[in-house]
C-alpha cells in the first residue's frame, strides 16, 4: 500500500466486540457483569456497571419495571454487523478491543490465562479473515498468577494482528495502575512494543450521583458522561504520581475518551504536584530534586512523550483541548466506541447512520479544518503510523 493511501484511510481505534466465548461467560453469571434474558425483551440484556445494580434488582423483583442495562444486540457480538457498520460509515480499518470489564472479574487461577488465550485467538482469527481491515488490542488475564500474565503478553506479541492491549484501570486485583506489582507487566508490554489502550469501567461510587440517578431517573448519563472520564483521569494521575512513566519510559498509553478530563485538568494537576510538600525531593516529582538527579518531567511532557488520546469526545471544544494538551494533532486517533451509544428513540435505525460517529468526525473536522492534513492524520494517518498498521500483517 502506498504511503498516500494509507495516510488517508479512515481508522477506528476505539471499537468493541464481545466474541461468543465471552458472551457464554457472562450468560453463566448471576452477579455483574452478566447477560440475562427477560420475558419482556427480545434481546438478552447486558448488565455491566455498578450503577446498573439498582435497576437490575428492580427488574428481578417486578416484571413491569424498566429493563436494566442495554440490549445485547448483534452489534456487540457479530463480525458481519461490525463490518456492515464500518462500510456504512466509510471506516476502512478497525482496531477491535474486547469491551469492559474484560477479564477483570475472573477468579484468580490459571484458568483466567486459558480464557484470555481463547479470546485473543478468537480476535486474531477474526482479523486474519479480513486482512488490512481488522486489527485488535488484546486482553490480559490480570487475575492470573504473574508468570501467566507475562506469558499472555508474549502470546499477544506473536499474534500478527495484535497492536496493543486494552486495560481497565484496576491493575492487578484492584491495586490500580500505580501498583508497583504491575510494573513488570507494563515493562513487558513496552518491551514488546504493545501500547496500552486504557479504558474506564468502574466509574465513581454510585453515591456521588445521588438517589435520583440510582432510581433510574437520569438513565446512564452521569456514570457514563462523568464517572468514566474521571476514572481515567484519576488512573493516569496516579501513574504520574507514582513515577510509572519514568520507570517504564518506553511505555505508550492510548487514553480512551480523549483522556477523560486530563487535557482540561493537566495544568491544575501539575500545579498541585509542584506545590505539594509530600512530593518535594522525590525523583519523579517535586521541584527540589537534588543536583545530578534527572529533572522531573511535567504532566505536559508526559502527555506529549508517552500518551496518545483517542478522539472520542463528541465536540469541537474537547477535541481542541485534547489536541493542544497532547502537543498537536499527531497524537490523536479517531474512534467510535461502537457498539455503545447506538441510535435511540422513535424511528431510530441501528442499521443507519450513528449520530455518535457523526459527532466525533465533525468534531475533528471543525477543530482541525475540514479536509486538512491534520484532520486526515487524526482520522487515520496517526493510527497507521503509531500502531504500525499494514507493516507486516
Residues that bind ligand URA (CB under 6 A): 16, 48, 99-100, 224, 337, 340
User: Would you say 179 or 337 has its CB closer to Zn ion?
Assistant: 337
User: Would you say 179 or 310 has its CB closer to ligand URA?
Assistant: 310
Does residue 231 bind Zn ion (CB under 5 A)?
no
CB of 96 to Zn ion, least distance (A): 11
Say which entry of Zn ion, ligand URA, none residue 334 contacts (CB below 5 to 8 A, set by partner kind): none
User: Would you say 52 or 337 has its CB closer to Zn ion?
Assistant: 337
Q: For residues 127-186, which are near Zn ion according to CB under 5 A?
A: none
User: Would you say 241 or 322 has its CB closer to Zn ion?
Assistant: 322
Say which entry of Zn ion, ligand URA, none residue 100 contacts (CB below 5 to 8 A, set by partner kind): ligand URA
Tell me the site size for Zn ion, rule CB under 5 A.
Answer: 1
Say which entry of Zn ion, ligand URA, none residue 224 contacts (CB below 5 to 8 A, set by partner kind): ligand URA
Q: And the C-alpha cell for 2?
A: 502506498
Say which entry of ligand URA, Zn ion, none residue 169 contacts (CB below 5 to 8 A, set by partner kind): none
Q: For residues 283-342, which are near Zn ion according to CB under 5 A?
A: 337
Cα distance between residue 242 and residue 247, in whole Å: 9
Prior bond of 388 cis (ω within 30°): no
User: Would you say 52 or 124 has its CB closer to ligand URA?
Assistant: 52
CB of 99 to ligand URA, least distance (A): 5
CB of 119 to Zn ion, least distance (A): 17
Alpha-carbon Rg for the chain in angstroms = 21
Cα distance between residue 240 and residue 218, in whole Å: 33
Say which entry of ligand URA, Zn ion, none residue 232 contacts (CB below 5 to 8 A, set by partner kind): none
Q: And the C-alpha cell for 371?
A: 479536509
CB of 337 to ligand URA, least distance (A): 5
- Of all residues in the shown chain, the one whose CB is closest to ligand URA is 340
User: Would you say 124 or 231 has its CB closer to ligand URA?
Assistant: 231
User: Would you say 150 or 359 has its CB closer to Zn ion?
Assistant: 359
CB of 62 to ligand URA, least distance (A): 24
CB of 70 to ligand URA, least distance (A): 8
CB of 312 to Zn ion, least distance (A): 7
First CA to last CA distance, the chain? 12
CB of 50 to Zn ion, least distance (A): 17
User: Would you say 17 or 113 has its CB closer to Zn ion?
Assistant: 17
- Find residue 134's DSSP bridge partners: 94
Residues of the shown chain interacting with Zn ion in the complex, contacts defined by CB under 5 A: 337
Amino acid at each position: 500500500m502506498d504511503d498516500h493511501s494509507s495516510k488517508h484511510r479512515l481508522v477506528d481505534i476505539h471499537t468493541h466486540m464481545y466474541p461468543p466465548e465471552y458472551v457464554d461467560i457472562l450468560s453463566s453469571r448471576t452477579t455483574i457483569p452478566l447477560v440475562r434474558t427477560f420475558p419482556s425483551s427480545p434481546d438478552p440484556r447486558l448488565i455491566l456497571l455498578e450503577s446498573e445494580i439498582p435497576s437490575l434488582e428492580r427488574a428481578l423483583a417486578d416484571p413491569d419495571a424498566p429493563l436494566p442495562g442495554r440490549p445485547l444486540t448483534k452489534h456487540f457480538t457479530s463480525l458481519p454487523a461490525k463490518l456492515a457498520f464500518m462500510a456504512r460509515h466509510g471506516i476502512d480499518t478497525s482496531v477491535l478491543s474486547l469491551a469492559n470489564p474484560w477479564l477483570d472479574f475472573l477468579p484468580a487461577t490459571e484458568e483466567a490465562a486459558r480464557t484470555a488465550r481463547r479470546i485473543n485467538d478468537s480476535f486474531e482469527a477474526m482479523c486474519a479473515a479480513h486482512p488490512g481491515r481488522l486489527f485488535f488490542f488484546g486482553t490480559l488475564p490480570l487475575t492470573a498468577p504473574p508468570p501467566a500474565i507475562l506469558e499472555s503478553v508474549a502470546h499477544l506479541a506473536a499474534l500478527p494482528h495484535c497492536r496493543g492491549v486494552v486495560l481497565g484501570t484496576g491493575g492487578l486485583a484492584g491495586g490500580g495502575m500505580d501498583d508497583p506489582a504491575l510494573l513488570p507487566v507494563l515493562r513487558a508490554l513496552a518491551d514488546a512494543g504493545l501500547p496500552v489502550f486504557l479504558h474506564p469501567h468502574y466509574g465513581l461510587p454510585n453515591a456521588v450521583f445521588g438517589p435520583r440517578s440510582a432510581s433510574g431517573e437520569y438513565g446512564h448519563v452521569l456514570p457514563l458522561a462523568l464517572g468514566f472520564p474521571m476514572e481515567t483521569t484519576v488512573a493516569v494521575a496516579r501513574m504520574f504520581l507514582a513515577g510509572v512513566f519514568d520507570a517504564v519510559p518506553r511505555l505508550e498509553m492510548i487514553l480512551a475518551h480523549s483522556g477523560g478530563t486530563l487535557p482540561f485538568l493537566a495544568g491544575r494537576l501539575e500545579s498541585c504536584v509542584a506545590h505539594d510538600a509530600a512530593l518535594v525531593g522525590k525523583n519523579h516529582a517535586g521541584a527540589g530534586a537534588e543536583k545530578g538527579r534527572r529533572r522531573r518531567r511535567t504532566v505536559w511532557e508526559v502527555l506529549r512523550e508517552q500518551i496518545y488520546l483517542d478522539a472520542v469526545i463528541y465536540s469541537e471544544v474537547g477535541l481542541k483541548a485534547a489536541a493542544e494538551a497532547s502537543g498537536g494533532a499527531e497524537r490523536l486517533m479517531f474512534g467510535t466506541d461502537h457498539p455503545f451509544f447506538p441510535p435511540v428513540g422513535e424511528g431510530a435505525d441501528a442499521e443507519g447512520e450513528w449520530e455518535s460517529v457523526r459527532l466525533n468526525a465533525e468534531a475533528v473536522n471543525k477543530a482541525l479544518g475540514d479536509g486538512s492534513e491534520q484532520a486526515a492524520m487524526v482520522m487515520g494517518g496517526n493510527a497507521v503510523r503509531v500502531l504500525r498498521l499494514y507493516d507486516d500483517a
